[in-house]
Amino acid sequence: MKVSILTINLNNKNGLANTMQSVFNQKFTDFEYIVIDGGSTDGSKELIEENAKKIDYWVSEKDKGLYHAMNKAIKAAKGEYCFFLNSGDYFVNATVLNDIFSTDRNADIISGNVLKLRENGKWNRVKSHEVISLHKLMIASLPHQASFIKRYLFDQIGFYNEKFKIVSDWEFFLKALILNDYKYQHCEIDVSYFLLDGISSQKSSGALAKMESVECIETHFEKLKDDLIEYRYFYNSNIGNMYMQLRSYPKLYNTVERICELTFRTKKWLFRK
């Protein structure tokens, strides 16, 4: 089995219906489909039961949160790659998986682009990093709605950290790609629509995400923590967010990025003096 498509759901029947239909519509057939429901009471379980013949494994029971549910899905997965398409998110078209795996890809993590969808129907494209570095991952994580992760990585470096509520997928990418140097490949394909209604998309979650990010950096990058935290804060500030909007203009974005990097390097040099 090439891919395990994993869907996590809790009381989001309509979103789950859209997600499942986009999975069922795929022309690619070398995948299994797993749905983990957190004991929903809105009819989600009944919807799953109605489509049970198209689902390879499902369960509906209370869990300990998002990352606990995601870990349950991973443990049930038998595919070479794991791919999370949680309820409400859906593939951009019926040929996405065919397009991705039409060429021989064997990187440990393959990441494409995600289209962030707002309630008004407008969307903006967020590209995964073309190359990976600690610098890049401090700016932004990879979108899990567009990332294919080899199943064995979770056995090698551990599952998602259930202590965190927002940044565990970011922590996993840091561990896999920076601390363990697993192979990464960017794929210039729009993979999925990501509905901006999850916990990580809410403004009220900003303080929690910031706190968890700091703890993650302090845990894994003790010697670099001060600089990395400062760097992370900058890119999550209003000025940093404005800067990130420049990604639609690659030449200008790259110029400003080089200036920012030079500023931080100069600051570190001055402090050493």
pLDDT digits (tens, 9 = 90+) for 166-207: 999 999 999 999 999 999 999 999 999 998 764 444 455 778
SS3 call for 5: strand
Cα distance between residue 23 and residue 114, in whole Å: 16
Cα distance between residue 241 and residue 235, in whole Å: 6
For the record, the structure tokens of 128 come out as 């995964």
Closest CA to 3 of 126, 110, 131: 110
SS3 call for 1: coil
Cα distance between residue 111 and residue 88, in whole Å: 20
Residue 130 has pLDDT above 70, yes or no: yes
Largest CA distance in the chain: 68
**What is the model's pLDDT at position 258?**
75
**What is the model's pLDDT at position 232?**
81
Closest CA to 220 of 271, 264, 167: 167
Cα distance between residue 50 and residue 176, in whole Å: 38
> Over pLDDT 90: what percentage of the chain?
67
**What is the model's pLDDT at position 254?**
74
Q: What is the pTM of this model?
A: 0.86
Q: Where does 3-199 sit in CATH, by number?
A: 3.90.550.10
Give the start-to-end residue ranges of the domains of the chain: 3-199, 237-273
